[in-house]
A and B are shown apart, each in its own frame.
Chain A
Amino acid sequence: EPEVTQTPSHQVTQMGQEVILRCVPISNHLYFYWYRQILGQKVEFLVSFYNNEISEKSEIFDDQFSVERPDGSNFTLKIRSTKLEDSAMYFCASRATGGRNEQYFGPGTRLTVT
């Protein structure tokens, strides 16, 4: 069964450093999303991406965040200058079109900012 994959599974970085989280969505999906989950809290929407552009973003997704689909398979989330409060699980999700609305989530990347 096709699945969303994410790398790395765990990323440790120092405050102020840049990180890039990578995702490979399900191959025939056209909508892509990033969510984050701070430990013990609910999953929060960050950004949605369709047709090579951001379609919606949350208040969390400020100028320090960016997304990119550099090729036909990868979808990345970049945090330019990490802060301690960016420590969380980051989930990538993808969705097909044609009336199929469910989003499929990857296993997540645990980001730890020290």
Chain B
Amino acid sequence: GESVGLHLPTLSVQEGDNSIINCAYSNSASDYFIWYKQESGKGPQFIIDIRSNMDKRQGQRVTVLLNKTVKHLSLQIAATQPGDSAVYFCAENSGDYKLSFGAGTTVTVRA
């Protein structure tokens, strides 16, 4: 069936280091993916998206990589800052742009 998931529920990273958050999906027909950041008590905040006809997309301090062969998605955050501490979700487009979310990775930045 369709599912979107993350490899690790938690990630602890030293301030200034790079972070890599991983996500596996199972629906090979998915054509659009989004990474969201959710801070405590807030709604998901759009970070970056990628279409299935691309394998890499860069934003400000963030890069999303898509490997369709193994159905894997990752989010890289450069020079992680304390404000990056949050839960990160990958989401997959599954019909009429309904989003299916993964379980989330909690990122904690150590000073």
**A residues neighboring B (CB under 8 Å):** 4, 31, 33, 35, 41-45, 48, 50, 55-56, 91, 95, 101-108
> B34 at the A/B interface (Cβ < 8 Å)?
yes
- A42-B102, A43-B89 in contact; A103/B45 too (CB < 8 A)? no
A56 to B99, CA, bound (A): 11
With a CB–CB cut-off of 8 A, which chain A residues contact B93? 101
In angstroms, how far is the closest chain A Cβ from the Cβ of B111?
26
Whether A45 contacts B102 by the Cβ 8 Å rule is: no
Q: Is the interface of A mostly helix, strand, loop or mixed?
A: strand
Q: Is the interface of B mostly helix, strand, loop or mixed?
A: strand
* Interface size counted on chain B using CB atoms at 8 A: 22
Extra contacts besides A48-B98, A91-B43 (14): CB < 8 Å: A4-B43, A33-B99, A35-B99, A43-B89, A43-B99, A45-B99, A45-B100, A56-B96, A102-B46, A103-B46, A103-B97, A105-B44, A105-B45, A106-B43
A-B contact count (CB 8 A): 53
B75-107 vs A, Cβ < 8 Å mask (1 yes, 0 no): 000000000000001010101111111111000
Whether B96 contacts A91 by the Cβ 8 Å rule is: no
- A42-B104, A102-B49 in contact; A33/B98 too (CB < 8 A)? yes
Q: Which of B42, B96, B99, B100 contacts A107 (CB 8 A)?
A: B42
